[in-house]
Amino acid sequence: MSLVEERYEKWVNHPNLDQRYKAELENMSDQEKNDAFYTTIEFGTAGMRGLLGPGTNRINIHTIRKATQGFANYIIKNGEEACKKGIAIGYDNRHMSRELAFDCADLLAKNNIASYVYDSLRPTPMLSFAVRYNKCFGGIMITASHNPKEYNGYKLYDDKGCQLVPHLADAVIREVNAIEDELAIDANCTEEQKKLITVMGDDVDQDYYKHVLSIQLNPDVKKDIKIVFSPEHGTANIPVKDVFKMTGYNCIPVEEQCTPDPDFSNTPTPNPEQPGAYELSLKYAKENDADLILVCDPDADRMGVGVKHNGEYIVLTGNQSGAVEIEYICSQLTEKGLMPENPVMFNTVVTSDLGEKVAADYGVSTEKTLTGFKFIGEKVAKYEVTHEKNYVFGYEESYGSLVKPFVRDKDAPQALLILAEACAFYKQQGKDLVDVLNDLYDRHGTYEESQVALTLSGEAGANRIKQILADLRADAPKEIAGVKVVRSEDYQECTICEGGKVSELTGFTKSNVLKYYLEDGSWIAVRPSGTEPKCKFYYCIKGADKAEAHAKTEKFQKAMSELTAE
């Protein structure tokens, strides 16, 4: 009997199997069995994420219990005080999110660990905030972020409200992997243990809102703008509308997408990186002659922005909206004499060069991290202790940013408020946010940034992704589309190859990422997603103008497609 068959038979016949999964297991095809049981679901760059359903490679009540019991064992090893401080727990609008969250609380209570659970769905950044507010030992967020409706996931946080960085995650993973039978775990705690569970009230929300309002740089700006806003059926609905009401902005919600619908019935996709996320918002914007379109992913850590420019609506990329945020924040801090000493901005190795150039223009240094906002949170925590540098901004190319670090994760409500303020501020100068972006291109050079994701599902897909990276390492490209590769970085082997010489790449945890710098000032990076069955290709292409940058982007994308084809 194969490993897949052994695992399947164990599940389908186990007396503790949650009965909702029985029929689905019995009706699985051989391929479905293989995909559900060929491996165990693992932590990636943003925790554990996968398809909902029965199986060791799926998100379900049993795999979540295994992860939570492992986390509980880790907490217990950190002592009685860690158990007393407890864990904050949040959840989004997805299928089973609330049930899984309260099951986690019950299981922690069974282990005599306190917890603080939100009474209803909340954004991921509010969970990060709740960890800090309640002085917890850590946090759990049940969410699949921007993934389709078939997914759910599980994120773990440390006592600073930051997702677990590798050395902490590794310690938890060791505990999780030591558990042999996830089906043997139940969450049946006593009534006395139930008292360890606290349902969080409005006080946490109000303190979060107070901190969000503190990011305003020009709170008295004339708010002569119309904003169309969509939470994409997710957690941003109430918090963002509340923040805009408190600050006096004219927010027009996309009502059809304000219900917390786990099936995302009224949107083609809940992912702001995809055009379908803006379809209904664009209709609202045209009907209301809106200045700005703002959308959030379901757990409200990412946001997308559309801008009315010359009568048309232009959707900015995460790199572009990040650059605009940096320009506005740095210009206003400088103008008001509020720029701190030794200011620093954080972004990732796959984020555009434009933001770094904008920051440098204001004397702000940039430090790069691996993909995953936890690495930015780790940097924030470091400088909070050493005081060597002072935080100004942090962002990723994937629509995630953090204006002030009272949260230690991407925070869409903060980003939406600062972009609304920037829109209102520049409107008084006769500019929109695309004008601001074009000014940045004039000052720092034109860039076109893009991402191409190759989706390869199942065991065969996972093997193909590994092969793509292995082939690129075995036969590193010396030129791409006729343009010379002048430097390459391998974050797994920790090496730099430049001018025929190999040197050590330092300052990063090992990660399966390759990056190629080209002679024309462009770069291309390749990495497997940590949470989805995808191989991602990132492009930061420099051109003399937009037309040249776009033409070069198409050329480089075609070349990489050919280079990595089977």
Q: Which H or E run contains 386?
A: helix 373-386
**Crossing angle of helices 412-427/124-133, nearest 10°?**
110
* Tokens 């080209």 belong to residue: 518
Burial of 435 (0-12, 13-18, 19+ CB in 10 A): middle
Catalytic entry in 97, 115, 128, 145 = 145
Cβ atoms < 10 Å from Cβ of 229:
27
Distance, in Å, from the CA atom of 28 to the CA atom of 16, rounded to the nearest integer, reads: 19
| 3-state secondary structure at position 198 | strand
User: Amino acid identity of 399?
Assistant: Y
> Six-digit token pair at 291?
């200045």
Q: What are phi and psi of 445, to 5 degrees?
A: 105, 150
The strand pairing partners of 348, in sequence order, are 369
Active site residue 145: yes
The strand pairing partners of 189, in sequence order, are none
Distance, in Å, from the CA atom of 291 to the CA atom of 307, rounded to the nearest integer, reads: 6
Q: Which H or E run contains 223?
A: none
β-pair type (151-157, 47-51) = antiparallel
Do the beta carbons of residue 190 and residue 81 sit within 8 Å?
Answer: no
SS3 labels along 11-42: HHHCCCCCHHHHHHHHCCCHHHHHHHHCCCCC
CA-based nearest residue to 158, from 87, 94, 227, 76: 87
Q: How far is CA 223 from CA 254, 308, 324, 424, in A?
A: 20, 16, 18, 6
Locate all alpha helices (DSSP H) within 428-501, ordered by sequence. Answer: 433-444, 458-474
The strand pairing partners of 496, in sequence order, are 489, 503
Distance, in Å, from the CA atom of 203 to the CA atom of 196, rounded to the nearest integer, reads: 19
Report the Cα–Cα distance between both ends of the chain, in Å, rounded: 32
* Tokens 């190999």 belong to residue: 502
Q: How far is CA 112 from CA 51, 86, 125, 366, in A?
A: 30, 9, 26, 43
Residues designated catalytic: 145
